[in-house]
Amino acid sequence: MIEIPRKEIYRYLGYRGIEPDESVRRRTEDCVQKLCAACTPRSIWKVLPLSSPSENVLITGDMEIHSANLYRNMQGCEKAALLAVTIGQGVDLLIRRAELVSMTDAAIYQAAGAAYVEAVCDDVNRQIIEKAVKEGLYCRPRFSPGYGDFSLEHQKDFFRILEITKTIGVNLSDSLLMAPSKSVTAMIGMSRTAKPCVIEGCESCGSRDDCSFRRDT
C-alpha cells in the first residue's frame, strides 16, 4: 500500500508555513480514503542506452532530445530509464462529481491525486534504483517532459517507446494532455559515478519564484 504524504496534499492546497485546521484535516482524510478506494495505480518502465553526440543533445532509443536542462541533468550517464505512471480514472470521476456539490472536496481530490501519483512515481523510482545498484550504476533525479526546456512534444516519444496506451491505459491528446489526468512520464539517468544533479524538478522551472506549489529547497 502506497502512503500518500499528507504534507504534500496540504502543499498542493496552498498551505505554506501554516497548518490546516482540524476540519480541513478531517475532510482531507475522508477524501483520501475515497480516493484510494477509487484509484488503480499502474506503471511501465524501460531502461535504454543513452548517448550524447553533441552538447545539449541526447539520444535514447529512437528519441533525440535537444535540451540544455536535461543535458546537464544527464551528463555522464550511459543509460536512461523511461517511465510512465497513472493512478487511473477514479480520481477524475471523483473530481467531476465533487465539482457539482463541493468545490472544497474537488480541490482536495485534485491535491490528493497529485500527491498520490507522485508517491507512485517515487515507488517506481525505488525499483529503478534497485536495478541500477545491481548493475553498479547510480541514478539521477527523474526529469519529465515539460520541465525547463525539455519539450512536452517528447510525450509522443514516450507513448511510442513504452506503448503507454496499450500497457497502462493512458491516452495522449493532440494538445499533449494525458488522460487520466493524474499520469506522469519521466526519465532517469544512470551513470557509473555518483554525481549530484545540478538542476531538477522545481529548479528547472522559470516560474518557480512565483509558484505557490513549489517545493522548498
Name which of 90-104, 156-170, 182-196 the model is least confident about: 182-196
pLDDT value for 207: 47
d(CA 44, CA 40) in angstroms, rounded, equals 14
Residues 6+ apart with CB under 8 A from 100: none
Strand order in the sheet with 63-66: 63-66, 57-60, 42-54, 77-86, 183-191, 138-139
Mean pLDDT taken over the chain: 92
Q: What is the pLDDT of residues 51-100, one digit of tens each?
A: 999 999 999 999 999 999 999 999 999 999 999 999 999 999 999 999 99
Q: Quick one: cell of 80? A: 536512461
Q: What is the pLDDT of residues 189-214, one digit of tens each?
A: 999 988 765 544 555 445 445 545 44
The torsion of the CA quartet 5, 7, 8, 10, rounded to 10 degrees, works out to 130
Q: Percent of the chain, pLDDT > 70? A: 90
Tell me the pLDDT band of 22, cut-offs 50, 70 and 90: very high
Across 172-182, average pLDDT: 98
Query: By the 8 A CB rule, do 3 and 35 touch?
Result: no
Tell me the pLDDT band of 12, cut-offs 50, 70 and 90: very high
Kindly list the structural domains of the chain, giving each domain's residue range(s) and its CATH number in brackets, ordered by start: 7-197 (3.40.109.40)
Residue 217 has pLDDT above 70, yes or no: no
Backbone φ and ψ for 176, nearest 5 degrees, come out as: 70, 25
Residues 6+ apart with CB under 8 A from 52: 58, 59, 71, 74, 75
pTM for this predicted structure:
0.88
- For residue 151, which of 82, 65, 214, 46 has the smallest C-alpha distance? 65
- For residue 82, which of 149, 205, 208, 167 has the smallest C-alpha distance? 167
Tell me the pLDDT band of 16, cut-offs 50, 70 and 90: confident
